[in-house]
Every structure is written in C-alpha cells, then in structure tokens.
Copies of this chain bind each other. A is one copy, B any other.
C-alpha cells in the first residue's frame, strides 16, 4: 500500500506552471514538505541546503520580471526542433498568468561553507525532488526552475539576501494547480536503460 502510493505519486508528478493565486499554501504544509526535503541524502551528510520561503508580493513580482527577461534572452537558444506541445507548456509559465501566479516561491541554496561546490548539486537536487513529491502528495502543483539560479545569480542573491557563501541552485514554484495537470511525456525505458555496458539492450 505504501509501495503503490510512492510509485503512483512519482509517475503522476509533473510540472505545474499555472496556479490558483487565491488558494492558500499553509505553513504547516510547507513544513511537512521541507521535512521531507531535509531527509534526502547529501555528500557526507553535510546537509548544506537552505530554503527561503518567499510569499511577499513585491519579491515575487521582481522574480517574475527577472524570469521574463531571462526567458526573452534565452528564447533564441531553444532548440528549433523542440516539441511544440512542450514549447506551449514552457511559454505557459511566462508573465503574470504563469509561474507568477504561484503564491509561494522556494529559493533553494547550497551553503558552500558546508560542502565543496563539486558536491553541491548531488547534495541539493535530491532534496528538491522531495519538495516536488511532497507538494504533489499534499495536492499542490510545483515547478522546478533553474533559469534564475544559472543566469541571474547576482540579482537573485540581492533579492532574497543570500550571503556570498550560499549558492542559489533552484527556484520551486508552489501552489494549487489552476487546472488539472495533463499526463507526462517520457522516453521508453528501453531507450535509456542498458545491461552491464552502455549500448547493450536491457
């Protein structure tokens, strides 16, 4: 029962880019989600994560403005062969009707006083995945983005007051989905799983 619960959750979890801005996200729910996050593994159990929970309208609006500029700058870099359905999904996240509708944005950082930068990613993204799954388990939608943490690190750092030793690594948008999430599109396992050696069929 516990088993099928996890697999159902993992297979159904997918990015949400439009939220109901009026539906609250309770602090208690965030604490439950974050408790799951900090039980993810980290290099030598250094637990280098930090989470800034942003609800403030002004901060969220600035995040949105920065993200929309980032998207406009990056749009030329998108693969022209990108699946049109995916492009629509991504563009759904833009502007005030998209990710900006999420009542909560989690800024996830890595404290480089706790772990070498080379181990930062493997110590942070598992915790982020627990956030996404925990959110889904409570009926929230979520979206992991790394645009601002990749290309707008300085602005983001200033916006939420991250010290120089904290590397921002992800923004997670959280809230109740504005509409049902569709099914996800995935490559078949046969394409990505190999037996003993890369290239040998599973």
Residues of chain A at the chain B interface (Cβ within 8 Å): 1-3, 5-11, 13-15, 31-32, 34-36, 38-41, 43-45, 47, 49-56, 59, 78-79, 82-83, 86, 89-90, 109, 118-119, 121-122, 124-130, 132-134, 137-138, 144, 146, 150, 160-163, 166, 169-170, 184-187, 189, 192-199, 202
Contact = CB atoms under 8 A, between A and B. Distances in A.
Contact of A9 (B2, B56, B138, B185): B2
Contact of A133 (B6, B51, B55, B144): B6
B118 A194 contact: no
Contact of A192 (B13, B38, B55, B138): B38
27 contacts: A1-B1, A2-B9, A2-B137, A5-B5, A6-B134, A7-B137, A10-B36, A10-B134, A13-B39, A31-B189, A43-B146, A44-B78, A44-B82, A44-B86, A45-B83, A50-B193, A53-B196, A53-B202, A56-B196, A109-B198, A118-B150, A122-B169, A125-B125, A126-B126, A129-B130, A161-B199, A166-B198
Contact of A194 (B51, B125, B133): B51
Given A52-B194, A52-B198, A40 B119 contact: no
Contacts of A49: 192
B119 A146 contact: yes
Contact of A198 (B47, B50, B118, B202): B50
A134 B11 CA distance: 11
Nearest to A86: B45
Contacts of A36: 6-7, 10-11
